[in-house]
């Protein structure tokens, strides 16, 4: 098992290029099924979740291959519509394949993605929307048998703006005859990117980025070349790393408009942040100060995926800051690990109060989930002595090379085998 050894106390200096976005490339990989052809994805991050998506595509009869940071997928030979339970459980967002397989094959069989480290991960909104498009879905002991000989465009109102449900329904709607209107859709930049990808392949989708997404279905899609957008959560992580350790960094390719709530919080805490088309510069000197409550919310609100890393950046700040987690039930699992490093955090239900401490000390800590794992690294950069971070396979799900990027910024961090 790999682990990270991090020596704290060095400020960060320099530049890193931001990897392609995990949460954008995963739905795009599902969408390649609709093209029945070759798609080259440039700037594709090499991540465990991307590997899992590729394995799903391969078991369905598709071909895939890497050339540097380009991933080429050819879905012409797709000849299956079943995803095994093992593959479904490997990646929690595997449900996103359902809409695309149904649109292409008229049937699909897969199991529930199951609960995850963040708490239950229901897909009821995905299934209700697919039924509205005409799919018949039977749940036989946790295996979903789905058939949709003829899907027809429909008006779907989501009871909450689920990212995954919006993406799944956009893909299914491409295979439905007529127009589908998805109301109360999620507005995340990754949804806009999925729309752009579908349109680049000959689809007709509009409205993404707003609350109503309109899909004209029944069009024949074609392949092409597409560049993956920069990962806003990786960018938020490195901004928080520099806020924690101090210093000045430049994140090439990061787009501030995708993470303005995160940069607003860091500015309020005392960081100096500038950005332009090339990327974001953060400089941070001296002690951070307390900020107004951080409440996670669907985009454009504060992202739940950046909650843990911001909390880690504020552990030594002056005063106390309140966090309120409103998206996932179980998203404070990193708190116990941060406490081992000397952090002072009280959790009451969905609220966590972080009181700044004078010093953090290196400790032996364990990743509980992807972003929680990244938060441990952010905290370790500011701790006295060495921190050993184990169970880093969680981190590998979403960061191409967290240790290499932080090392390029001057951090004392190495990856070793336990
Ligand atoms: C996506 C992101 C994840 C991010 C999350 C919220 C990907 C691969 N993952 O996950 O990193 O943390 O958005 O920004 O893009 N819900 C239901 N029923 C459903 C679907 C969702 O109740 O059918 C609930 C969930 O339990 C959760 C909330 O809706 O409480 C938001 O979930 P959702 O937006 O669907 O997140 P994901 O797409 O799973």
How far is ligand 1, taken at its centre, from the CA of residue 358, in Å? 36
**Residues that are catalytic:** 116
Among the atoms of ligand 1, which is closest to the Cα of residue 22?
8
Q: Which residue has the tokens 């951090």?
A: 411
H helix runs in 246-284, sequence order: 260-269
CA distance 181 to 400: 36
Confidence of residue 112 (pLDDT cuts 50, 70, 90): confident
Q: How far apart are CA 373 and CA 352, in angstroms?
A: 18
- Which of 4, 7, 6, 13 has its CA nearest to residue 409? 13
Cβ contact 38:73 at 8 Å: yes
DSSP for residue 175? T
Alpha helices in 36-68 (DSSP H): 48-59
Between these two residues, 354 and 119, which has the higher pLDDT value?
354
Strand, helix or coil for residue 107: strand
Indicate if ligand 1 lies below 6 Å from the C-beta of 27: no
The torsion of the CA quartet 348, 186, 122, 96, rounded to 10 degrees, works out to -140
CA distances, 341 to each of 266, 290, 357, 376, 381 (Å): 22, 20, 11, 9, 11
- Mean pLDDT value across the chain: 96
Which residue has its alpha carbon closest to ligand 1 atom 15? Answer: 23
pLDDT-derived band at 118 (thresholds 50, 70, 90) equals confident
Walk me through the domains of the chain, giving residue ranges and CATH numbers.
2-15+231-417 (3.65.10.10), 23-227 (3.65.10.10)
> Over 90: is that where the pLDDT of 298 sits?
yes
Would you say 272 and 409 are in contact if contact means Cβ atoms under 8 Å apart? no
Hey, which bits of 197-350 come out as E strands?
A: 204-206, 213-216, 224-227, 247-252, 272-276, 279-284, 294-295, 320-324, 344-348
Report the 10 Å Cβ neighbour count for 186.
22
The reported pLDDT for the residue numbered 218 is 93
Mutate to test the pocket of ligand 1, among 49, 124, 164 (most ligand atoms within 8 A of CB): 164
pLDDT band at 115 (very low <50, low <70, confident <90, very high): low
pTM metric for this prediction? 0.97
pLDDT confidence tier of residue 114, bands split at 50, 70 and 90: low
Confidence of residue 140 (pLDDT cuts 50, 70, 90): confident
Q: State the closest ligand 1 atom to the C-alpha of 124, by its place in the atom list counted from 1.
A: 23
Cα separation of 397 and 368, whole Å?
12
Determine the average pLDDT of the residues in 135-159: 94
> Which of 327, 331, 397, 398 most suits a substitution to test ligand 1, by most atoms within 8 Å of the C-beta?
327
- Above pLDDT 90, what percent of the chain? 92
Return the residue whose CA atom lies nearest to atom 33 of ligand 1.
162
Does 335 contact ligand 1 (Cβ within 6 A)?
no
CB of 300 closer than 6 A to ligand 1?
A: no
Query: What DSSP state is assigned to residue 11?
Result: P
Question: Is the per-residue pLDDT at 121 higher than 90?
Answer: no
For 351-367, what is the mean pLDDT?
Answer: 97
Q: What integer pLDDT is reported at residue 1 of this predicted model?
A: 84
Residue 94: both structure tokens together:
């595997």
pLDDT tens, residue by residue, 368-384: 999 999 999 999 999 99
Ligand 1 neighbour 24 (Cβ under 6 A): no
Q: What is the rounded distance in angstroms from the CA atom of residue 106 to the CA atom of residue 104?
A: 6
The whole-number pLDDT of residue 351 equals: 98
Among 163, 167, 171, 326, the mutation site with the greatest number of ligand 1 atoms within 8 A of its Cβ is: 163
> Which residue has its alpha carbon closest to ligand 1 atom 17?
122
- pLDDT above 70: residue 249: yes
């Amino acid at each position: 098992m790999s682990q990270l050894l991090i020596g704290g106390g060095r400020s960060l200096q320099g530049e890193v290029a931001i990897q392609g976005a995990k949460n954008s490339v995963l739905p795009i990989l599902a969408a390649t099924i609709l093209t029945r052809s070759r798609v080259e994805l440039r700037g594709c991050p090499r991540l465990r979740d991307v590997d899992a998506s590729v394995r799903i595509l391969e078991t369905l009869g598709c071909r895939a291959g890497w050339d540097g940071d380009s991933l080429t997928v050819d879905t012409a030979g797709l000849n299956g519509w079943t995803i095994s339970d093992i593959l479904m459980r490997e990646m929690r967002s595997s449900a996103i394949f359902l809409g695309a397989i149904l649109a292409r094959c008229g049937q699909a069989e897969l199991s529930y993605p199951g609960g995850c480290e963040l708490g239950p991960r229901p897909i009821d909104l995905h299934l209700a929307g697919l039924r509205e498009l005409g799919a018949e879905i039977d749940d036989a002991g946790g295996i979903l048998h789905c058939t949709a000989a003829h899907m027809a465009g429909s008006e779907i109102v989501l009871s909450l703006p689920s990212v995954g449900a919006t993406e799944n329904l956009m893909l299914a709607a491409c295979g439905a005859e007529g127009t589908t209107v998805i109301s109360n859709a999620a507005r995340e930049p990754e949804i806009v990117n999925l729309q752009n990808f579908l349109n680049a392949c000959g689809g007709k989708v509009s409205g993404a980025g707003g609350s109503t997404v309109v899909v004209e279905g029944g069009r024949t899609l074609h392949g092409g070349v597409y560049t993956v957008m920069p990962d806003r959560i990786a960018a938020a992580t490195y901004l928080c790393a520099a806020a924690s350790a101090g210093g000045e960094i430049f994140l090439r390719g990061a787009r501030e408009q995708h993470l303005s709530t995160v940069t607003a919080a860091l500015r309020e805490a005392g960081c100096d942040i500038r950005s332009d088309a090339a990327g974001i510069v953060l400089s941070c000197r001296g002690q951070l100060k307390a900020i107004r409550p951080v409440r996670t919310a669907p985009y454009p609100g504060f992202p739940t995926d950046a909650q843990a890393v911001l909390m880690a950046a504020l552990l030594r700040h002056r005063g106390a800051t309140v966090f309120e987690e409103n998206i996932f039930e179980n998203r404070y699992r990193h708190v116990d690990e941060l406490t081992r490093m000397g952090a002072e955090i009280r959790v009451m239900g969905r609220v966590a109060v972080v009181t700044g401490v004078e010093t953090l000390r290196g400790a032996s800590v364990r990743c509980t989930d992807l972003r929680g794992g990244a938060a441990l690294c952010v905290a370790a950069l500011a701790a006295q002595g060495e921190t050993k971070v184990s169970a880093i396979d969680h981190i590998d799900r979403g960061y191409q090379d967290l240790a290499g990027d932080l090392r390029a910024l001057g951090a004392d961090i190495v990856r070793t085998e336990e």
